[in-house]
Amino acid sequence: MGAYQIVQELGRHDSDIKTVVSLDGGMRLACGARDGLVSVWTRQSGDVTLSPYAFEAEFRGHEAYVNSLAHIPSKDGESGGWLASGGNSTMILIHSLDTLLDEPTTSLIGHTHNVCALHYCDLHKLLASSSWDCTARIWKCERDDWRCHQVLEGHQQAVWDVKIVDIASRSSQADGEIRLWNAGGEAVQRFKCCPEPVRSISLLSTGELASASNDSIIRIWSNTGEVIASLSGHKDYIYQVIAMRRGMISCGEDKTARVWDECGEQIAVLSHPCTSVWSVTSTHNGLVVTGGSDGIVRVWQQSAPCGQEKRGPASAFENADVQDNKTVGGVDQVVIEIDIASAGARRAKLILVRNIPRFILWFGQVVFAIFGQS
């Protein structure tokens, strides 16, 4: 079973951290809390692997619990963009991550109760929200003007979560049902989960759907609405389940977050000193971030196997072998091979231009290098 260790704790809020999200591939984090505040944290340097997070900005405006966040990327795909937040104020506030001004750029009005989930689909440029008012809403921005594009009605109890899947939407509610809605706003499929509320849903890399419920079970669903796996491990309510590149992470009321592999096997338990682990997210380089009822955001990193030193980008270059040295188009290039320890002594080739590395990014078993003149 893989082990994780806490590498940083972020403490600024006075009460429960209800939601955490990763921004810009993990260069930033955002969290929302019961104290009504949203905080943004950023890496102190450009090294996403080694640099700790530092407080960057704080957004006010809700004056009530903040329960949901969603990142809206910038139009050009660069870092920054906007951060949408929702909660007991019933409003959805959108703040700029470029200016970091406390004043929101937009306020979305429509829900009449707690906004408990937000999800942005970059493919279709749509923002989805769900609420205790028994509805989900789809919002669309045209010419910098956000409008409610659709209201999904039909749930009889609180709609705990919503996800946009391709051009359809899926929602989960407190009566244990998951609904699939088409682009026209019609409920075309219902997945009856269990008598307990479905708190969270997530689309897996396999195309299947994962759901987490108050009965402490994670269920994996086929596209036809059949349960193909039930995962046990949590001992109490599960508040969130999210997909990773290989597997899932979940968190709940049993003081833990749990990591699952792509086969549904539990591979790690992240124990917390607080009772409720309300939210979890992950970064592109494999960090796990959790928000707890003690007001602390915890950043976790997977530990190296016993007897194996944790290796990063710098140590990988220790065993690099120069394979070729040549000039292409007047530009000096060196081709090297590198041992990647975490990949089981696999080797990778990189081309260094002018021998000046500008960025080295380490994503699990893959090294990406971008080179050029400063």
pLDDT in tens, 197-246: 899 999 998 888 999 999 999 999 988 888 999 999 999 999 999 999 88
As a residue count, the chain comes to: 374
Residues 113 and 151 in one domain: yes
Tell me the mean pLDDT in the region 331-341: 39
Report whether 247 contacts 259 (CB < 8 A). yes
Residues 281 and 335 in one domain: no
Residue for token digits 């109760």? 113
Domain total in the chain:
2
Is residue 137 a part of any domain in this protein? yes
Residues 107 and 238 in one domain: yes
H-helix or E-strand containing 316? helix 313-316
Residues 190 and 331 in one domain: no
Is residue 307 a part of any domain in this protein? no
Residues 9 and 89 in one domain: yes
Residues 28 and 105 in one domain: yes
We report the CATH number of the domain holding residue 148 as 2.130.10.10
Token readout for 143 is 């010419």
Conformation bin of residue 264: beta by default, left when phi > 0, alpha when psi is -120 to 50: left
Given this model, what pLDDT does residue 189 score?
Answer: 83
Q: How far apart are CA 268 and CA 265, in angstroms?
A: 9
Residues 199 and 80 in one domain: yes
pLDDT in tens, 1-44: 579 999 999 999 999 999 999 999 899 999 999 999 999 999 97
At residue 77, what is the residue type? Answer: G
Is residue 87 a part of any domain in this protein? yes
How far is CA 16 from each of CA 234, 263, 275, rounded to the nearest angstrom?
20, 32, 11
Indicate if the pLDDT at residue 167 is higher than 80: no
Is residue 112 a part of any domain in this protein? yes
Report whether 126 contacts 149 (CB < 8 A). yes
Residues 142 and 224 in one domain: yes
Residue-range definition of the domain harbouring residue 320: 313-371
Q: Where does a domain end: 251, 281, 302?
A: 302
Is residue 308 a part of any domain in this protein? no
Q: Where does a domain end: 245, 278, 302?
A: 302
HSE of 309, CA atoms in CB hemisphere, 13 A: 7
CA 344 to chain centre: 28
Q: How far apart are CA 294 and CA 272, in angstroms?
A: 10
At residue 341, what is the residue type? Answer: A
Residues 293 and 321 in one domain: no
Is residue 205 a part of any domain in this protein? yes
pTM above 0.75, yes or no: yes
Residues 147 and 170 in one domain: yes
In this prediction, residue 364 has a pLDDT band, given cuts at 50, 70 and 90, of very low
Residues 96 and 161 in one domain: yes
Q: Where does a domain end: 302, 328, 347?
A: 302
Residues 239 and 318 in one domain: no
